């Protein structure tokens, strides 16, 4: 069983990576993670950090966004420097840490829908380019995970999260072309399944409507991270099959931007209600469901970001301490 209790999605407000790490280690000790701080500028966001990991593929920022280039330029190097600094901070503050630790990277399909070819449309428009991107990313991620293990030599496990907010659009064919005047063709599910298998058994985060639960289950992912407000009864069968297959769920139960935070019972309610509706044993809930903010916290204030993580942790403790009473109160 997982028993992670609570964690965050990835991004944080501000520019102080050491302070962000202190918050993460302090508020979600069951599954801390390497924060992203997009406020630092180009290369510090999800896309930039992940692009800096690509092997034998260089990127640069153009007016339209990230684009493949012949050799690494200023923006590529800047992104790599941000990541190196974050890892240095992790090594400094994570000394002696022995639990599981999570890292987030942009998944191959969202990345392919964001990066442009050298002289053409988005990489998503070219199946061969997507294959090259996926292979490059898989190798870069493997090297990144090895580096994290090196910085945290006593860590019990490094958990990989692929951020795929663009995946539903990739499957439906709603991703715009580079010009913005058209839409790229939908991608077959089997292609997505095969590509995800190249990353082992990751978590997949998707905060967009239409999470493809069945596809992710068939791809062998470890778990799904999603906004609990997007749960729909029509998804119950697919979610139930995923749970029976051993997958875990990371449910976003508090807003990702500043908002009043309800009591922990109300925060835990979406997870309790889902579990009750699916008919699984109450005692298994805390081991199969981890509570998180609904999405990244980059748009929140630092004070709210800390409070959001703390609230998720406290709500998870309520589920573990007395899941039966939680079920009755839902």
pLDDT of residue 325: 45
pLDDT of the chain, 330 residues: tens digit per residue: 567 999 999 999 999 999 999 999 999 999 999 999 999 998 899 999 999 999 999 999 888 888 999 888 889 899 999 999 999 999 999 999 999 999 999 999 999 999 999 887 999 999 999 999 999 999 999 999 999 999 999 999 999 999 999 999 999 999 998 888 899 999 999 999 999 999 999 999 999 999 999 999 999 999 999 999 999 889 999 999 999 999 999 999 999 999 999 999 999 999 999 999 999 988 899 999 999 999 999 999 999 999 999 999 999 988 886 555 444 444
Block residue for tokens 């999800």: 46
DSSP state of 201: S
Close Cβ partners of 82 (under 8 Å, ≥ 6 residues apart) = 37, 40, 43, 44, 48, 49, 52
pLDDT of residue 322: 52
The domains located in the chain, with CATH, are: 17-329 (3.20.20.210)
pLDDT of residue 330: 40
Close Cβ partners of 203 (under 8 Å, ≥ 6 residues apart) = 102, 159, 160, 161, 162, 221, 222, 223, 224, 225, 248, 250
pLDDT of residue 88: 97
Q: What whole-number distance in Å separates Cα of residue 49 and Cα of residue 247?
A: 27
pLDDT of residue 329: 42
| Contact criterion met (CB below 8 Å) for 84 and 17 | no
Close Cβ partners of 213 (under 8 Å, ≥ 6 residues apart) = 224, 235, 238, 239, 241, 242
> DSSP of 45-64, one letter per residue?
SHHHHHHTT-SS-EEEEETT
pLDDT of residue 2: 61
Close Cβ partners of 95 (under 8 Å, ≥ 6 residues apart) = none
Angle between helices 236-244 and 264-278 (to 10 degrees): 90
| Contact criterion met (CB below 8 Å) for 141 and 104 | no
């Amino acid at each position: 069983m997982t028993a992670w209790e609570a964690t965050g999605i990835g991004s944080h407000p501000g520019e102080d990576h050491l302070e962000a790490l202190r918050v993460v280690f302090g508020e979600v000790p069951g599954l801390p993670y390497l924060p992203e701080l997009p406020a630092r500028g180009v290369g510090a966001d999800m896309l930039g950090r992940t692009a800096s990991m690509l092997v034998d593929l260089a990127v640069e920022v153009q007016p339209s966004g990230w684009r493949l280039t012949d050799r690494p330029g200023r923006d590529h190097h800047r992104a790599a420097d941000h990541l190196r600094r974050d890892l240095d901070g992790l090594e400094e503050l994570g000394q002696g840490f022995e639990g599981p630790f999570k890292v987030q990277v942009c998944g191959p399909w969202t990345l392919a829908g964001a990066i442009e070819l050298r002289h053409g449309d988005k990489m998503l428009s070219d199946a061969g380019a997507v294959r090259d991107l996926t292979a490059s990313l898989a190798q870069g991620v493997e090297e990144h995970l090895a580096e994290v293990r090196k910085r945290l030599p006593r860590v019990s496990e490094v958990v990989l999260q692929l951020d795929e907010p663009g995946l539903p659009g990739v499957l439906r064919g709603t991703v715009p072309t580079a010009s913005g005047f058209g839409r790229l063709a939908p991608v077959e599910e089997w292609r997505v399944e095969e590509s995800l298998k190249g990353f082992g058994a990751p978590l997949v985060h998707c905060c967009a409507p239409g999470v493809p639960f069945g596809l992710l289950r068939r791809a062998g992912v470890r778990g799904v991270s999603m906004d609990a407000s997007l749960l729909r009864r029509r998804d119950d069968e697919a979610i139930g099959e995923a749970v029976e297959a051993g997958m875990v769920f990371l449910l976003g139960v508090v807003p990702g931007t500043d908002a009043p935070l309800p009591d922990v019972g109300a925060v835990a309610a979406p997870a309790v209600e889902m579990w009750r509706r699916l008919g699984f044993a109450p005692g298994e809930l805390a081991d199969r469901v981890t509570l998180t903010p609904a999405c990244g916290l980059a748009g929140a204030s630092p004070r709210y970001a800390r409070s959001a993580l703390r609230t998720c942790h406290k709500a998870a403790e309520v589920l573990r301490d007395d899941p039966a009473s939680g079920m009755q109160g839902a």
